């Protein structure tokens, strides 16, 4: 974020103009002392830094979430416990004629309530409910772990119970990152599909929002990574479970997040991929979205892929592998996993660093910042020119 702000012309304009004016006043007016110049510089810098950070965060798509795929390493129950905390308190101890502030050492008892969480093999934590933990406990058992704390004053509690699964339980956990591609969409995402067509595809339900997380049996979070707009996948839950397990494997080996998107080939040809890519802004940085068109019998007629990669062989393989394969055949997901492991190389987001210089706010936000800057700088300058402090 800092590099994007510093690369923005508006930031430097809004910072330097008041500072140059303040420097001129400090050099030419006795009423404007050097201490006041320093205050104005700091105030101006703070204003433009805060307002640009806020508006970039709120009015642009710079902050996005991608999903890391792993598996449950443990489900843990942490008991409640009480802690004795020592702290310093200040109080008035003088008189009205001679006010003073004194300190004294006090103690209090802080209660820490019980809580439950999942830890993944990637070191992530997922809060879960007591019922979720009990499901894991009943199925996998639990192990008592004593926790020793020097400041604990309660007895018979404060420990934890850990349940470790004996099977793979896939997880998907969101992580925030700077999506330079989404913010600079005119540079990378080619918006060649008319907005009217996008709206029509949304209206008929073939173009859908990016997959959302859902909660699994033990409270773990998973991604609803199969979108079937045709209803021709016979056992969607089973297929989703298979793809979630595949995501766990390729998430570790390839930092990949596989998604399957199914449309009707008799209504939409390969160009549908362009609409989806534009609507999803090419997805997240680690996504591999396999888009397939199936006929009435569920046979794949065409396939394409949306992802960030420099390996064209991977894209070609994903386009050519799935034709004439039934969508309900396990070979679809297995071949998807095979090609990801074989030739997918995730494109580092550092290759899009050049976009930072082209990322800016809309003109009306720039105008708002300028107006606010004029008001703030004008008020500070007026105060400094009319107060009683003077240069000697």
List Cα–Cα distances, 206 to 194, 229, 316, in angstroms. Answer: 16, 6, 25
Q: How confident is the model at residue 31 (pLDDT cuts 50, 70, 90)?
A: confident
Nearest residue to 226 via CA among 277, 261, 265, 256? 261
Rounded to the nearest angstrom, the gap between the alpha carbon of residue 344 and the centroid of all alpha carbons in its chain is 23
Confidence check: pLDDT of 3 > 80: no
Read off the pLDDT of residues 155-213 as tens digits, 9 standing for 90 and up. 999 999 999 999 999 999 999 988 877 777 555 666 688 999 999 999 999 999 999 99
Give the three-state DSSP class for 270.
coil
Query: Measured between alpha carbons, how far is 384 from 33 in angstroms, rounded to an integer?
Result: 8
Share of residues in the chain with pLDDT > 70 (%):
96
Do 308 and 282 touch, CB atoms closer than 8 A?
A: yes
pLDDT at 82: 97
pLDDT at 232: 95
Do 292 and 302 touch, CB atoms closer than 8 A?
A: yes
Nearest residue to 72 via CA among 146, 114, 125? 125
In this prediction, residues 140-159 reach a mean pLDDT of: 94
In this prediction, residues 51-70 reach a mean pLDDT of: 87
Sign, Cα dihedral of 215, 217, 220, 222? negative
Read off the pLDDT of residues 73-124 as tens digits, 9 standing for 90 and up. 999 999 999 999 999 999 888 777 788 889 999 999 999 999 999 999 999 9
Q: Which residues, other chains included, contact 39 with Cβ-Cβ below 8 Å and sequence gap of 6+?
A: 380, 384
pLDDT at 235: 92
In this prediction, residues 322-334 reach a mean pLDDT of: 95
pLDDT at 314: 94
In this prediction, residues 338-361 reach a mean pLDDT of: 83
Torsion of CA 206, 207, 212, 214, to 10 degrees: 0
Residues paired with residue 304 on neighbouring β-strands, in sequence order: 291
Comparison of pLDDT for 127 and 353, the residue scoring more: 127
> CATH classification of 174-349 is 3.10.310, yes or no?
yes
Comparison of pLDDT for 281 and 351, the residue scoring more: 281
Confidence check: pLDDT of 137 > 80: yes
Domain positions in the chain? 2-59+359-386, 69-163, 174-349
Query: Measured between alpha carbons, how far is 303 from 318 in angstroms, rounded to an integer?
Result: 7
Q: Residue 183, CB half-sphere, CA atoms under 13 Å: how many?
A: 27
């Amino acid at each position: 974020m800092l590099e994007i702000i510093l690369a923005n012309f508006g930031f430097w304009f809004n910072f330097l103009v008041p500072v140059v004016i303040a420097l001129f006043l400090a050099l030419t007016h006795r009423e404007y002392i050097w201490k006041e110049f320093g205050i104005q510089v700091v105030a101006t810098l703070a204003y433009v830094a805060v307002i640009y950070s806020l508006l970039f965060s709120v009015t642009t798509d710079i902050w996005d979430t991608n999903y890391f795929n792993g598996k449950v390493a443990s489900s843990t129950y942490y008991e409640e416990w009480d802690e004795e905390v020592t702290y310093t308190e200040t109080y008035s101890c003088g008189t009205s004629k001679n006010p003073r502030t004194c300190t004294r050492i006090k103690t209090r008892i802080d209660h820490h309530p019980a809580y439950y969480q999942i830890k993944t093999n990637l070191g992530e934590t997922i809060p879960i409910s007591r019922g979720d933990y009990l499901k894991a406990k009943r199925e996998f058992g639990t192990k008592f772990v004593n926790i020793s704390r020097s400041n604990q004053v309660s007895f018979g509690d404060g420990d934890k119970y850990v349940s470790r699964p004996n099977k793979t339980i896939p997880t998907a956990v969101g992580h925030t990152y700077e999506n330079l591609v989404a913010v600079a969409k005119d540079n990378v995402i080619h918006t060649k599909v008319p907005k009217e067509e996008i709206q029509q595809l949304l209206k008929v339900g073939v173009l859908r929002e990016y997959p959302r997380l859902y909660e699994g049996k033990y409270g773990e979070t998973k991604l609803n990574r199969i979108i079937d707009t045709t209803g021709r996948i016979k056992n969607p839950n089973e297929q989703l479970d298979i793809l979630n397990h595949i995501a766990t494997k390729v998430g570790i080996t390839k930092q990949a997040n596989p998604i399957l998107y199914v449309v009707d080939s008799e209504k939409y040809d390969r160009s549908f991929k362009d609409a989806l890519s534009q609507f999803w802004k090419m997805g997240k940085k680690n996504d591999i979205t396999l888009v397939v068109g199936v006929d009435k019998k569920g046979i794949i007629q065409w396939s394409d892929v949306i992802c960030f990669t420099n390996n064209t062989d991977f894209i070609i393989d994903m386009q050519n592998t799935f034709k004439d394969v039934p969508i309900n055949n396990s070979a679809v997901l297995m071949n998807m996993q095979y090609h990801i492991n074989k030739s997918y190389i995730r494109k580092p987001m550092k290759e899009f660093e050049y976009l930072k210089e082209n990322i800016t706010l809309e003109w009306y936000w720039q105008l708002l910042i300028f107006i606010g800057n004029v008001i703030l700088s004008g008020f500070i300058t007026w105060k400094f020119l009319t107060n009683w402090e003077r240069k000697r």
